[in-house]
C-alpha cells in the first residue's frame, strides 16, 4: 500500500511537471514568435516609410546586415536580395507572405530553417510602386527553446521528485501508522491517536470486538450452566441405579428409585430439547420460513391442551380472542404461546386464574397472558429472559422448568421483529404481552 501511494504521488508530480513544461514552452514560444514578428514588422514599416525601395538605384550593397531584405515585383520576380544573388532565386509569387502582401497589403510566415532547431521569420509589405518588400530573420523555434530550458527542467524535476518522495512517505506513514498500531493492539484501541476519517472504522471495530468478547463470555457461561444443569439429574440417575444394582434397595425402594430415575431422565430430555432448540434459534440466520397463521387458533389449541395441567393445579384457565392473522413460523409461535401459558399456570397459586387474550391492533397481532400467580420481584424482572435464570430454582425444577423457556420466547419474538413486555407485582400476578408485526 505504502509503495502504491508513493508511486501514485510520483506519477502525479511527473505528470504535473510534464504538463506545466509543455504549457509554459508553448506560451513562451508564442510570445517569442510575436515579438520577433513585431520587430520584423516595425523594421519593414520603417524601411517602407523611408521610401528607399521605391527607387532601386538608391540601395547600397550591405546596408541591412541584420535582416535579409528581399524586394519582389508584383509578378513574383525577385529584383533585390541582400543575401543571395536575385538571379539565383526562383519566382517568389507563391510564398504565402508575398501572396498575402499583394492581396491585403502585408503578410507574414514562419518556415523551417536549413539550420537545425531554427526557423525563418518573414514579414512582407506592399510598396506604393506595387512591389513587395520582405524582411526575414532566422531565430529560435520551440525545440531550441525547450533545449535551452531542459537543464533547468531536469534540476527542477529532480528536486520536486525528492520533495514528493519525502512528503509522500510522510503522508503514507501518518495514514498507515495508526492502522498498524490498531492492528497490533486491539485491546487498547481507544488510546491510539488517529484521524477523523478513521474514527467510524475504529468505532465499528471496537463495537464488534466488544460484541465478540461479550458473546464469548456468554457462551462460556452457557456451557458452564449447561454442564451443571445436566450433571444434577445425571448424578441422581447414576446414584439410584447404583443402589439398585448393588441390591441395597428393597422392593418398595426399587419402585421409588425407578420413579426418580424416570423423573430425572424426563428432566434431562426436556433440558436437552430446550438446549437444542435454543442453539437452532441461534444459528438460524434472520430469515425464517413464514406462513399465514391465525394466532387465535394457535392459542385456542394451546389452552385446550393445557386445561388438564391447569386443573391439576386448581388454576382457572380462560381465553378471549378474535381471528388475528399474520405471517410467522407456526412451530415457533406454538412454542411461544405454550411456554407463556405454561409458566402462568406453573407459577400460580391455588384457585388462581390465567387469562389469555388475542387481538389484532395497528398492523400487529397482540398476545396477552395475565395470571394471578406468585408474581416476580422487581429486582428479578430484568433478568428472567436470560438463559437458566430463575427466581426460585427449586420451584422451577419441581414444576419441570429448565430455565430456558423465556429465553426461547425472547428469541422467537426477535426472529419475528416483535416486542415483548412484562408487568408483574410480587405476590399478586404477572402480565406478559407480545406484539408481532403482521
Instruction: By CB under 6 A, name the binding residues for ligand ADP.
Output: 339, 343-344, 347, 371, 373-376, 384, 389-392, 396, 401-407, 430
Work out how close the CB of 266 gets to ligand ADP at its nearest, in angstroms, rounded to a whole number: 14
List C-alpha distances in Å: 119 to 23, 113, 145. Answer: 20, 5, 12
Are 138 and 115 in contact by the 8 Å Cβ rule? The answer is yes
| CB of 71 or CB of 356, closer to ligand ADP | 356
Min. distance of Cβ 299 from ligand ADP in angstroms?
A: 16
- Of the two residues 337 and 376, which places its CB atom closer to ligand ADP in the complex? 376
Q: Report the alpha-carbon distance of residue 62 to residue 139 in Å, rounded.
A: 20
Per the CB < 8 A criterion, the answer to whether 59 and 52 are in contact is yes
CB of 337 to ligand ADP, least distance (A): 13
Q: Which is nearer to ligand ADP, 136 or 315 (CB)?
A: 315
What is the DSSP secondary-structure string of 13-36? HHHHHHHHHHHHHHHHHHHHHHHH
* Smallest separation, CB 406 to ligand ADP (Å): 3
Closest separation in Å from C-beta 387 to ligand ADP: 8
Contact of 123 with 142, CB cutoff 8 Å: no
Q: Where are the beta strands (DSSP E) in 174-324?
A: 291-294, 316-321
Copy the grid coordinates of residue 327: 405471517
| Identity of the residue, 70 or 396, whose beta carbon is nearer to ligand ADP in the bound complex | 396
Taking the least distance from each CB to ligand ADP, the nearer of 172 and 339 is: 339
Q: How far is the CB of 409 from ligand ADP (least distance, A)?
A: 7
Please report how close the Cβ of residue 405 comes to ligand ADP at its closest, in angstroms.
3
CB of 380 to ligand ADP, least distance (A): 7
CA 390 to chain centroid: 43
Which cell numbers in the block locate residue 422?
412484562
Closer residue to ligand ADP (CB): 398 or 417: 398
Give the whole-angstrom CA distance, residue 306 versus residue 304.
6
Choose between 33 and 390: whose C-beta lies nearer to ligand ADP.
Answer: 390
Question: DSSP states of 165-218 as a string?
Answer: HHHHHHHHHHHHHHHHHHHH-GGGGGGS---GGGHHHHHHHHHHHHHHHHHHHH
Helices 2-50 and 142-184 pack at an angle, to 10 degrees, of 160
d(CA 266, CA 129): 132
The residue written with cell numbers 400467580 in the block is 373
Sign of the dihedral through C-alpha 159, 164, 169, 174: positive
When the beta carbons of 328 and 375 are compared against ligand ADP, the nearer one is: 375
Question: Looking at beta carbons only, is 107 or 233 nearer to ligand ADP?
Answer: 233
For ligand ADP, give the closer residue by CB, 35 or 423: 423
Q: How far is the CB of 369 from ligand ADP (least distance, A)?
A: 7
Tell me how far, at minimum, the Cβ of 178 lies from ligand ADP, in Å: 46
Shortest CA distance to 413 belongs to which of 345, 329, 343? Answer: 329
Closer CB to ligand ADP, 107 or 418, in the complex = 418
Nearer to ligand ADP, 133 or 310 (CB): 310
CB of 247 to ligand ADP, least distance (A): 37
CB-count exposure of residue 274 (10 Å: 0-12, 13-18, 19+) = buried
Which residue bears the cell 515585383?
A: 73
Q: How far is the CB of 313 from ligand ADP (least distance, A)?
A: 13
Alpha-carbon distance values, 52 to 124, 133, 294 (Å): 15, 11, 117
Name which of 347, 354, 292 is nearest 323 in CA terms: 292
Amino acid at each position: 500500500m505504502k509503495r502504491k501511494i508513493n508511486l501514485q504521488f510520483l506519477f502525479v508530480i511527473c505528470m504535473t511537471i510534464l504538463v506545466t513544461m509543455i504549457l509554459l514552452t508553448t506560451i513562451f514560444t508564442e510570445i517569442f514568435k510575436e515579438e520577433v514578428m513585431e520587430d520584423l514588422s516595425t523594421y519593414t514599416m520603417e524601411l517602407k516609410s523611408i521610401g528607399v525601395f521605391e527607387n532601386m538605384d538608391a540601395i547600397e550593397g550591405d546596408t541591412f546586415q541584420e535582416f535579409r531584405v528581399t524586394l519582389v515585383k508584383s509578378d513574383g520576380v525577385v529584383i533585390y536580395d541582400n543575401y543571395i544573388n536575385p538571379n539565383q532565386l526562383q519566382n517568389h509569387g507563391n510564398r504565402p507572405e508575398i501572396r498575402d502582401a499583394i492581396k491585403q497589403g502585408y503578410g507574414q510566415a514562419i518556415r523551417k530553417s536549413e539550420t537545425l532547431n531554427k526557423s525563418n521569420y518573414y514579414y512582407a509589405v506592399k510598396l506604393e510602386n506595387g512591389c513587395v518588400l520582405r524582411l526575414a530573420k532566422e531565430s529560435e523555434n520551440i525545440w531550441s527553446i525547450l533545449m535551452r530550458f531542459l537543464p533547468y527542467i531536469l534540476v527542477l524535476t529532480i528536486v520536486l521528485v525528492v520533495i514528493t518522495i519525502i512528503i509522500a512517505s510522510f503522508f503514507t506513514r501518518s495514514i498507515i501508522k495508526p492502522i498498524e498500531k490498531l492492528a497490533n493492539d486491539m485491546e487498547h484501541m481507544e488510546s491510539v491517536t488517529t484521524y477523523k476519517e478513521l474514527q467510524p472504522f475504529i468505532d465499528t471495530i471496537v463495537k464488534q470486538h466488544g460484541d465478540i468478547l461479550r458473546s464469548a463470555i456468554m457462551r462460556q457461561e452457557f456451557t458452564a450452566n449447561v454442564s451443571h444443569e445436566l450433571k444434577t439429574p445425571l448424578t441422581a440417575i447414576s446414584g439410584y441405579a447404583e443402589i439398585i444394582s448393588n441390591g441395597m434397595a428393597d422392593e418398595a425402594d426399587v419402585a421409588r428409585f425407578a420413579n426418580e430415575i424416570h423423573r430425572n431422565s424426563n428432566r434431562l430430555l426436556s433440558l436437552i430439547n430446550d438446549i437444542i432448540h435454543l442453539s437452532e434459534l441461534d444459528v438460524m440466520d434472520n430469515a425464517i420460513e413464514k406462513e399465514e397463521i391465525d394466532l387465535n387458533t394457535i392459542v385456542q389449541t394451546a389452552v385446550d391442551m393445557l386445561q388438564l395441567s391447569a386443573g391439576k393445579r386448581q388454576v382457572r384457565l380462560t381465553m378471549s380472542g378474535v381471528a388475528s392473522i399474520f405471517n410467522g413460523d407456526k412451530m415457533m409461535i406454538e412454542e411461544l404461546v405454550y411456554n407463556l401459558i405454561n409458566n402462568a399456570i406453573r407459577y400460580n397459586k391455588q384457585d388462581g386464574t390465567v387469562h389469555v387474550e388475542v387481538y389484532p391492533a395497528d398492523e400487529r397481532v397482540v398476545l396477552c397472558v395475565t395470571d394471578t400467580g406468585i408474581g416476580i420481584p422487581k429486582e428479578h424482572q430484568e433478568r428472567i429472559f436470560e438463559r437458566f435464570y430463575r427466581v426460585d430454582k427449586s420451584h422451577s425444577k419441581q414444576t419441570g422448568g429448565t430455565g430456558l423457556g423465556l429465553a426461547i420466547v425472547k428469541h422467537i419474538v426477535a426472529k419475528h421483529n416483535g416486542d415483548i413486555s412484562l408487568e408483574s407485582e410480587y405476590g399478586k400476578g404477572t402480565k406478559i404481552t407480545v406484539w408481532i408485526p403482521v
